[in-house]
Amino acid sequence: MTDVKSPLLHIDEQINALCARSGRDPHSVQLLAVSKTRTADELAQLADQGQRHFGENYLQEALDKIAALQGRGLVWHFIGPIQSNKTRDIAAHFDWVHSVDRLKVARRLSEQRGPDLPPLNVCLQVNVDDEASKSGVPLAGVAELAEQIEALPNLRLRGLMAIPRADNDDGNRAAFRQLAMTLSQLRNTMPALDTLSMGMSADYAVAIEEGATVIRLGTALFGPRRPKA
């Protein structure tokens, strides 16, 4: 790809327009570039245009890119499934984790977060459509897990994340609305929660209309996904 400027500018314009239509401040929506399988050079091109937040799914691939792009002031988000034996490196090298769905993993991240680092920002991954094949805490378990994680000393619970079914016929509006309602309910006792990580390349417009504060875009920024080597 020779020109990554046009997609980034186009998406920024879309975010602005969608927020204006929804009566929202465009600064309330953070664009997270999902950069799995992309090279450090591709990320650097986006960073040169002002993109600071990058989301990675594969730990070793991410660590290589974090090292290659050190010193650029980038913000790194881990958004993939978390294996217990990977928590130490995730805790040490990332600023955000969007895919926390069980207390064991949260405890390990808290224990392994370095004392010289700020609290690790985390979102609970919610299985909003109750899919057996998908990670995430069931809706019924969100409140209990949120309370447990909020008590951990080296984590900062920020909100909720979801990946709805790909075949919902309403553009995932109902799923996004359910996640937003769940966050609203949590905020009755945890008013500092401020993050709804929802919406990807195919459905981010609906997600913004339903209150997303982080949209996770890969294909829309980089083009068709390349298979992982």
Q: pLDDT tens across 59-110, in order?
A: 999 999 999 999 999 999 999 999 999 999 999 999 999 999 999 999 999 9
Tell me how far apart the alpha carbons of residues 207 and 209 are, in angstroms, rounded to a whole number.
5
Residue 108 covered by a domain: yes
Residue 119 covered by a domain: yes
Residue 229 covered by a domain: no
> What are the tokens at 81?
């499934």
- CATH of residue 172's domain is 3.20.20.10
Count of domains forming the chain: 1
Q: Model-level pTM?
A: 0.94
Residue 32 covered by a domain: yes
The fraction of the chain above a pLDDT of 70, given in percent, is 96
Domain ranges, residue 50: 5-222
Residue 139 covered by a domain: yes
pLDDT at 229: 56
**Secondary structure (DSSP) of 163-228:** ---TT-TTTTHHHHHHHHHHHHHHTTT-TT--EEE---TTTHHHHHHTT-SEEEESHHHH-SPPPP
Q: pLDDT tens across 144-194, in order?
A: 999 999 999 999 999 999 999 888 888 899 999 999 999 999 999 999 999
Residue 43 covered by a domain: yes
The CA-atom distances, in angstroms, between 107 and each of 140, 174, 179 are 21, 32, 24
Judge contact between 214 and 30, C-beta under 8 A. Answer: yes
Residue 227 covered by a domain: no
**pLDDT confidence band for 36 (50 / 70 / 90):** very high
pLDDT averaged over the chain? 94
